[in-house]
Amino acid sequence: NAGVTQTPKFRVLKTGQSMTLLCAQDMNHEYMYWYRQDPGMGLRLIHYSVGEGTTAKGEVPDGYNVSRLKKQNFLLGLESAAPSQTSVYFCASSPPGKAIAYNEQFFGPGTRLTVL
């Protein structure tokens, strides 16, 4: 199993450009999450999904959109990138069904995004 993979690993954008980050998991997990991580601020939840075709807002959703058309994929879109969106983006997934599952998330390797 590859686990959770993210594409791309690095990206540099100019202000106003758009892009899509792809997250894929091969563990048949129902729940998927997008976080951003900035120095000294831990992990902040952007959006999440509890199943195919469903999405919900997290702590910092402004400026981002997501889609979960297939169970194994969770896409994060930036419609008009801003320098404030320079960050490391992590995708994670977890299976439902047991209490511990909600607390054990499996993370991808991250995407390092710079917006100039």
Partner 1 sequence: GQSLEQPSEVTAVEGAIVQINCTYQTSGFYGLSWYQQHDGGAPTFLSYNALDGLEETGRFSSFLSRSDSYGYLLLQELQMKDSASYFCAVRVPRNEKLTFGTGTRLTIIP
Residues near partner 1, by CB under 8 A: 31, 33, 40-45, 48, 50, 58-59, 90, 92, 96, 99-100, 102-110
Question: DSSP readout, 34-90?
Answer: EEEE-TTS-EEEEEEEEETTEEEE-SS-TTEEEE-SSTTEEEEEESS--GGG-EEEE
Q: Which residue lies nearer to partner 1 by CB, 85 or 94?
A: 94
**To the nearest whole angstrom, how small is the minimum distance from the Cβ of residue 80 to partner 1?**
26
Q: Which residue lies nearer to partner 1 by CB, 14 or 97?
A: 97
φ/ψ (deg, to 5) at 101 = -65, -35
φ/ψ (deg, to 5) at 68 = -135, 75
**To the nearest whole angstrom, how small is the minimum distance from the Cβ of residue 84 to partner 1?**
18
Q: Which residue lies nearer to partner 1 by CB, 27 or 41?
A: 41
Q: Which residue lies nearer to partner 1 by CB, 87 or 105?
A: 105
| Three-state secondary-structure class, residue 3 | coil
**To the nearest whole angstrom, how small is the minimum distance from the Cβ of residue 16 to partner 1?**
29
User: Which residue pairs from 40-45 have beta carbons closer than 8 angstroms and sit at least 24 positions apart in sequence?
Assistant: 43/90
**To the nearest whole angstrom, how small is the minimum distance from the Cβ of residue 33 to partner 1?**
8
